[in-house]
A and B are shown apart, each in its own frame.
Chain A
Amino acid sequence: MNPAIKLSVLVAEDESLLRMMATDMFEDAGFRVVEASSGEAAAELLKAAPVSALFTDVELLGTMNGFQLAKISYERDPHAAILVVSGRQLPKPDDLPPGAIFLSKPYDLQRVLQSLQQLIDNKAS
């Protein structure tokens, strides 16, 4: 892949302050970021253009939650990395698509970036 082309992350988060933080985190790490606050809007963005990674909260605006969004992302592109975060209890076994990583909120920024890098490296190899 041409290193000049930035990897892209779709950030789905309903709380704007948290979305801002996540966007800054990924931009500072060199990613190109697209944002959505509802599951439906995020799914539209996924349909419009593929992304390297999805970073989503479980609770989103609209009727679609982060788990459903993660599954849509996996069905569209199983190579995209998926990170799901939540302040609620841990996901049940069937909530996450294969290969997705779950992290509790509030998250350690370094761990998010490390996990994402790990997922991207795994999918590339």
Chain B
Amino acid sequence: MVSGSYDAIGDKLEESQTAGNGGPLAQTALQNSEVALAESVEAQAFLKRVLDASKDCIKVLTLDGAIIFINNGGRDAMEVDDLDNIVGASWIDIWSGADALAAQRALEIARRGGSDQFVARTSTLKGRMKHWHVTVAYLPATSGKSGHVLSISRDVTLETEAEAQREMLSHELSHRIKNSLALAQAIGLQTFRGADPSKQQHFSGRLAALATAQDLLLQTRWESVPVSDLVDRTLSPMCSGDQCLIDGDDVRIDGRKGLALALAIHELATNALKYGSLSVPTGKVSLSWSSSDGLFKFTWVETGGPMVNNPTTKGFGTRLITRNLESDFMGSVELNYVPSGLVLSLTAPI
């Protein structure tokens, strides 16, 4: 028989046994009931084999959350030597802290006929900490008896630990990248020591922008980054008060484009602080982007700054906001020094 006192499985058995007494009809009934009994015993054995073959921890609870059954896989998973230690115990008490709240919630839902899932951790009876993915569902009643609650917990410790390990490596990698960039910055500045200080500042500013963008990208495993995050992280240190008006769709771009855009925004902002609209308190920068019909559009419009002139030389800064953007976005950039301020617009397939 199965562990615990799970009487629902025994219901059919009881019914077939009470049918067996007296008369020819009763004879047939007896034969029928013997067949039924045999079928029932077979079905029961079959169900038991199914339960035993599962590596998941399958438990049946009363509606109050008392454990009345646990399968063999569950006993192994929870390292239960003595069934008395778990049968009759409160299922909620297995969990602690926020996990206990999640369990309480799930039990409440199941009790009302629904089902719920949560991920939680608890240690086995021998004290080994494990992570579980738990599904809780209502188990309907048979023949007028009250229903039960079914709890199926899958041990996801290996997956959870692998994810934590990946997370840790990612942080470590991020730290090392930033440290390497900081060292490159130190070497660069020492190499060009005595040179034009504004060039040194440009160099360290660009490296910082690169590091910020890489950090954001690492958080998303280099897959894609929301344009709004990129804009926010790159621009916020350079914008005071309400000088920057930012408005854009919820769009994500890939790593290569993200780096190019971060460097371009940094360059535009540095330029605006020095010569453009951010160099005066009344100046504004309006940044907007959108994605529709397969086209990504990004615009940077400066107003209220000093009169601008088309620069005579096309330095590295200009190339960062034109050629580099065009190349990495495979799109086109228009850069105009109109009298009211600089206007840049990028159009690219997304």
Residue B310 lies at the interface, judged by CB distance under 8 Å to chain A: no
Residue B35 lies at the interface, judged by CB distance under 8 Å to chain A: no
Chain A, Cβ-Cβ closest to B233: A104
State which size class the interface on A falls in.
10 to 19
User: Known: A15-B183, A18-B183. Is A88-B190 also a contact (CB below 8 A)?
Assistant: no
Residue A2 lies at the interface, judged by CB distance under 8 Å to chain B: no
Smallest Cβ distance from B31 to chain A, in angstroms? 75
A109 to B201, CA, bound (A): 6
**Option from B179, B190, B201 in Cβ contact (under 8 Å) with A21:** B190
Smallest Cβ distance from B206 to chain A, in angstroms? 9
Smallest Cβ distance from B99 to chain A, in angstroms? 23
Q: Is the CB of B182 within 8 A of A106?
A: yes
A20 / chain B contacts, CB cutoff of 8 Å: 186, 190
Interface pairs (15), CB distance under 8 Å: A17-B183, A17-B190, A21-B185, A21-B189, A87-B175, A89-B174, A104-B178, A104-B211, A105-B181, A105-B182, A106-B184, A107-B204, A108-B204, A108-B237, A109-B204
B205 / chain A contacts, CB cutoff of 8 Å: 108-110
B: number of interface residues (CB 8 Å): 26
**Option from B171, B182, B208 in Cβ contact (under 8 Å) with A18:** B182
Q: Is the CB of B186 within 8 A of A89?
A: no
Kindly list 20 other residue pairs between chains A and B, CB separation below 8 angstroms, not including A104-B178, A106-B182.
A15-B182, A18-B182, A21-B186, A21-B190, A24-B189, A24-B193, A87-B174, A87-B175, A87-B182, A88-B171, A104-B208, A106-B204, A106-B207, A106-B211, A107-B182, A108-B237, A109-B200, A109-B204, A110-B204, A111-B208
Residue A28 lies at the interface, judged by CB distance under 8 Å to chain B: yes
Residue B212 lies at the interface, judged by CB distance under 8 Å to chain A: yes
Chain B, Cβ-Cβ closest to A105: B182
Residue B114 lies at the interface, judged by CB distance under 8 Å to chain A: no
Chain B, Cβ-Cβ closest to A106: B182
Chain B, Cβ-Cβ closest to A22: B186
4 tightest Cβ-Cβ pairs between the two chains A and B: A87-B178, A106-B182, A21-B186, A17-B186
A87 to B185, CA, bound (A): 13
Q: Is the CB of B197 within 8 A of A106?
A: no
Smallest Cβ distance from A89 to chain B, in angstroms? 7
A28 / chain B contacts, CB cutoff of 8 Å: 197
Q: Is the CB of A108 within 8 A of B208?
A: yes
- Contacting residues of chain B (146-201) with chain A, CB-CB under 8 angstroms: 171, 174-175, 178-179, 181-187, 189-190, 193, 197, 200-201
Q: Mark A8-47, 1 if CB is under 8 A from B, else 0.
A: 0000000101101100100010000000000000000000
Q: Is the CB of B185 within 8 A of A106?
A: yes
B175 / chain A contacts, CB cutoff of 8 Å: 87-88
Residue B267 lies at the interface, judged by CB distance under 8 Å to chain A: no
Residue B215 lies at the interface, judged by CB distance under 8 Å to chain A: yes
Q: Is the CB of A105 within 8 A of B193?
A: no
Smallest Cβ distance from B204 to chain A, in angstroms? 5
A105 / chain B contacts, CB cutoff of 8 Å: 178-179, 181-182, 211
A122 to B122, CA, bound (A): 50
B186 / chain A contacts, CB cutoff of 8 Å: 15, 17-18, 20-21
Smallest Cβ distance from B78 to chain A, in angstroms? 35
Chain B, Cβ-Cβ closest to A89: B171
Q: Which of A28, A88, A105 has the most CB of B within 10 A?
A: A105
A17 to B200, CA, bound (A): 16
Smallest Cβ distance from B178 to chain A, in angstroms? 3
Chain A, Cβ-Cβ closest to B203: A109
A104 to B208, CA, bound (A): 8
Chain A, Cβ-Cβ closest to B183: A17
Q: Is the CB of B183 within 8 A of A104?
A: no
